[in-house]
Structure 1
């Protein structure tokens, strides 16, 4: 019997690559767990609509678990969800962090408090190697959010490719966007049963960032 896991899922390239890797290693993902901001019904960090997250869940045939969170009690809501997943058979939670120690410590603490293991399939891999691996596997990710302190608005709405990575690198930004230079939404790839159709977008200015609202 495969070991059951829950995936901390943002909808972006790193969490998708982590999901791909654990499936390849023989784990059984029983849920994509995404935190949602109660104020706007979008994913907490990547501002992805609940409707699109549901489409991803159907496309990869893995149930979606939405966690409505408030900033002050974020850890509490996250741990409550992990406890529920453990009761459903999950033995570990999968995270897409690469090399930021405080992010790993946060995930490990949540798992420690809920008697789960913490898995980090991308940990300490080369950032550029990982994003190239993601593209070479055949995944498609649209740039959903851009930090204007690092990159121009011209990158918004572009699908990651080898050429786009060269352009990102030329700005002096981390090619993987691990420092918050950009965020993505994955809409197709080898574990997808069908591509997600994207339409009806508009730009929203938010402090020093520009967002692409997808539907």
Structure 2
């Protein structure tokens, strides 16, 4: 399971665990080893480890240097995926929603390791996903924003209906275009 610690990966994990054809055995997260934070949005590794413990799943950290080159990242990913495959994994679950190029990239990397991807949130409308997220009792905090889309006042807010209502026009409520990232 590709795990960011945010709402999309949490909802994808929820669906994967409810699917009797799937058995999630571990979480995989890219970590900036220099800062000890999740690469994509800066959440501290200690919080990630606490999430993994609470979920009852081992956390595999893809520990990367501060500014890895793409070949370096891809080799580290391939190594981690190879370890997962050797341990019996057949696929990796992702919380991606609609970015075609990202999904194609992930599937290409997975194929190199002899694995498949599973995308339980794929092509579902953001409003529907958020409604389900809230109805299931999940809560998330916005931990970073892209200031080209949102001002800094959105950071640190609870991802709730007020947050969504306050979004400027054109901003995806799930942050799928990189507008924001969350942490459970």
Structure-1-length-normalised TM-score: 0.79
Matched, 1:28 2:23: yes
Structure 1 CA distance for aligned equivalents of residues 172 and 115 of structure 2: 32
Residue-by-residue CA offset, 1:97-121 (whole Å, 9 max, x unaligned): 1111110011101110111111111
Q: Retained in 2: the 8 A contact 1:151–1:171?
A: no
Task: Please list every run of 5 or more consecutive structure 2 residues that lacks an aligned counterpart in the other structure.
Answer: none
Matched, 1:69 2:64: yes
Deviation at 1:128, TM superposition (A): 2.0
Deviation at 1:171, TM superposition (A): 4.8
Q: Retained in 2: the 8 A contact 1:132–1:162?
A: no
Aligned to 1:80: 79
Deviation at 1:25, TM superposition (A): 0.9
Aligned length: 179
Matched, 1:112 2:107: no
Residue-by-residue CA offset, 1:76-116 (whole Å, 9 max, x unaligned): 11111011011111111111111111100111011101111
Aligned to 1:156: 155
Structure 2 CA distance for aligned equivalents of residues 102 and 175 of structure 1: 20
Structure 2 CA distance for aligned equivalents of residues 105 and 82 of structure 1: 16
Aligned to 1:3: none
Aligned to 1:14: 8
Structure 1 CA distance for aligned equivalents of residues 124 and 147 of structure 2: 27
Aligned to 1:4: none
Residue-by-residue CA offset, 1:151-170 (whole Å, 9 max, x unaligned): 222222111112221112x4
Alignment partner of 1:8: what SS?
coil
Alignment partner of 2:63: what SS?
strand
Q: Retained in 2: the 8 A contact 1:97–1:104?
A: yes
Structure-2-length-normalised TM-score: 0.92
Aligned to 2:96: 97
Aligned to 1:197: none
Task: Please list every run of 5 or more consecutive structure 1 residues that lacks an aligned counterpart in the other structure.
Answer: 1-6, 187-215
CA RMSD of aligned residues (A): 1.3
Structure having the larger proportion of residues in helix = 2
Structure having the larger proportion of residues in strand = 1
